Amino acid sequence: MRVLSIFLLTLLSFSYSFGFMVWNDNSQKEIRILKELDIEPKYVNNEYFLLLKNNRMNTTKQEFINTITKEYKHAAIIKDVLKERNAPDFLLYLAIVESKLSNRATSGAKAAGIWQFIPSTAKLHNLEVDKYVDERRDPLQATHAAIDYLERLKDRFGKWYLAILAYNAGEGKLSRAIKAAGSDDINILLNPKKKYLPLETRDYLRKIIMMAYVANDSDFLISKDSSMLNSATYIGIEKVDIPGGISLRDVASTIGFSIEKLSQYNTHLRYSFTPPNRDKYYIYIPTIKKEEFIANYKIGPKTKIYNTKKGDTFEIIAKKLNIKTSDIKEYNNISKIKSNYKLAVPANAKTIYEYEVKKGDTLGAISRKFGVEVADIVKANSKTNMKLAIGENLVIPH
C-alpha cells in the first residue's frame, strides 16, 4: 500500500510538473508573439483581450485547424513567400482572419482574394484587375503585394500592430483614431468604452493574436493537424509564360490534366484562356509537371472568343459558329450559358467579327460601316430593341 501511495504521489507530481512546464512554455510563447507584434507583454492581462480569449479560444482553434486543413496549399505558398521575404509569421494569421485563405473570397466592399484587396489598393501594388484577369486571386502575386503594403504601413506607423489595424481600418481612420486618443498605445486604441476604432477593427487584431497563440501552442505543435502547415505536404507550383488567347484546355492536355484541375491553379484568370489582348501571359502548373510541359507543349493557334448574348444557348452558339456543343462546354469547363460572358471556342470555329459600341454609335451607322443589314445585326445579337450601350460587344454577321 505504501509503495502504491508513493507511486501515485510521484505520478501526480510528474503530471503537475509537466502541466506547469507546458503552461509556462505557452506563456513564454505568448509573450514572444506580443513582442513580435511590438505589443508590450503586459497586454496578456488586458481585461478585454482576456474576455475575448476565454469566450472564443476554442472556436478560434477549430477555425484555424479547419482552414489549414482545407487550404493547406495556400498556407504553404504564403509560408514560403514570408520566409523568402523575411516577413513575420503572424502575417499568415492575418490572411486567415481576412479570408480563411480562400482565393475565391469576395466581400461586399468588392475586396477579393486571400488578402482581400479592393481594386484601388490592388492597382497601387501592381496587381492587374481587368476584364480578363484578377491578380488579387493569384496567391503568389497577391502575397508579395500584401507584404509590400504591410511593410509600408509598418514604416509609416512604426509598429506592427498599428500596421495591422491600418490594413483593416484604413490609414486615414487609424491616423484619426491616434490623434483623437492622443496615443498609439494598444490598450487605449482598443478600449471598447472610448471606441476610437470600430469593433470590427478592435476584434481583428485580437483574432490575429489568438490565431498566433493557437499555431504556437505546445499541444497543437505535437498534434497531427500541425503537419498541414508543413510545406512538404504541398507539391509546389511553377510559373510559365504562354501566348495570350490560349485555352487552358490545350495546356492541360499536354500535362495530363483536366481543364478543371488546371483552372484551380489559375484562379486569377477570369476565363478559361489567357488574355487575348496580350502577346504573352503567365499561368501556373504543378512543379512536378514542368518537364512534361516543356517536352510536350507546342504553341498552337489562338482560341477565338465569343461574347454571349441574351437568349444564347449552347445549341444556338454551336450552330452560329459551326462547332459542337461539347466543344463549347469542354473548352470553357461550364455546364450552362451565362449572359455577357466570354467563351473560348476552337480555332476552327467560324470567324467571329465583333464591334465594341462607342459613344454616338447607332445601329444604322454600324450597319453602314460593315455593309450589313440592321436586321441581321439585331438577329445575330438576339436584341429585342434598337438600343445600344457604350462598351457593348456586337457580333457582326458575315
How confident is the model at residue 157, as a pLDDT? 98
DSSP 3-state assignment of 220? helix
Q: How far apart are CA 116 and CA 195, in angstroms?
A: 24
Examine the pLDDT at 175 and tell me if it is beyond 60: yes
Q: Which residue has the higher pLDDT, 345 or 95?
A: 95
**Where do the structural domains in the chain lie, given as residue ranges?**
29-231, 232-296, 304-396
Matching CATH number, 304-396, of 3.30.365.10, 3.10.350.10, 3.40.50.920, 3.20.20.140: 3.10.350.10
Which residue blocks in 37-89 are alpha helix, DSSP H?
47-70, 72-85
Determine contact, residues 81/144, Cβ cutoff 8 Å.
yes
Q: Could you tell me the pTM of the whole model?
A: 0.84
pLDDT at position 9 is 47
Residue in the block written with cell 455577357: 340
Average pLDDT over residues 98-122: 95
Task: Calculate ∠ Cα 374-377-383, nearest 5°.
Answer: 105
What would the mean pLDDT of 248-266 be, rounded to a whole number? 92
Query: Looking at residue 112, what is its pLDDT?
Result: 98
Region of residue 313 (phi > 0: left; psi between -120 and 50: alpha; otherwise: beta): beta
For residue 40, is pLDDT > 80? yes
**Topology given in CATH for the domain delimited by 29-231:** Lysozyme (1.10.530)
- Is it the case that residue 291 has pLDDT exceeding 90? yes
Domains 29-231 and 304-396 share a fold: no
Question: No. of H helices and E strands in the chain?
Answer: 18, 6
Q: Is 373 exposed, middle or buried (0-12, 13-18, 19+ CB in 10 A)?
A: exposed
Is the separation of the CB atoms in 224 and 217 below 8 Å? no
227/245 Cα distance (integer angstroms): 40
Residue 299: band (very low, low, confident or very high) from pLDDT cuts 50, 70, 90: confident
**What are the backbone dihedrals phi and psi of residue 188, each rounded to the nearest 5 degrees, phi first?**
-80, -50
pLDDT at position 21? 42
